[in-house]
Amino acid sequence: MLVLGPNSTCDVCLECYTTGVNIAHAISCGHVFCQKCLDHLMQQKCPLCRERFSPRDIRKLHVDRDPSTIAAIDSPSEPVVIAPQIDNESQRLLDDITRIRRAAKSTRFGG
């Protein structure tokens, strides 16, 4: 879920999303800019990823000014549990990294 908080800014002009021409808008690639910056683009390409977009694909977004809403989204109500198979995979990867580092140290490039 995309969440824009009270201090979110446009990636082009770095101004906070407010009202009028500084309202947040999403384009088809998912990047978000203020209306003012979208209006001033020379081409209909995303300033970040260069993907083309159509003006009909621009969607106005709501910026929630209540910090408690964002805190509720960021804080899950239930604890996060890591499945044992994920924990085992993590340990296997750490072991692989350790083995590779040791092997690299024994070469003329590793130390």
Task: Give the pLDDT of residue 62.
Answer: 74
CATH of the domain at 50: 3.30.40.10
pTM confidence score: 0.55
Task: Give the pLDDT of residue 100.
Answer: 85
Same domain (yes/no): 69, 103:
no
* pLDDT digits 0-9 by tens, 11-42: 999 998 877 778 899 999 989 999 999 999 98
Q: What is the DSSP letter of 34?
A: E
Task: Give the pLDDT of residue 52.
Answer: 94
Q: 3: pLDDT confidence band, cut at 50, 70 and 90? A: low
* pLDDT digits 0-9 by tens, 44-81: 999 999 999 999 989 988 766 665 655 555 555 566 56
Same domain (yes/no): 73, 95:
no
Task: Give the pLDDT of residue 109.
Answer: 63
Same domain (yes/no): 25, 68:
yes
Same domain (yes/no): 4, 34:
yes
Question: Cα torsion for 98, 104, 106, 111, to the nearest 10°?
Answer: -110
Same domain (yes/no): 59, 86:
no
Answer whether residue 1 shows pLDDT above 60.
no
* pLDDT digits 0-9 by tens, 87-98: 778 888 888 888
Same domain (yes/no): 70, 89:
no
Same domain (yes/no): 97, 71:
no
Question: Contacts for 44-53 with beta carbons within 8 Å, 24 or more apart?
Answer: 47/11, 47/12, 48/11, 53/27, 53/28, 53/29
Note the helical H segments in the chain.
35-39, 67-74, 84-105
At 12, list the tokens.
């082009």
When divided into structural domains, the chain yields a total of 2
State which residues form the domain around 70: 1-79
Same domain (yes/no): 39, 58:
yes
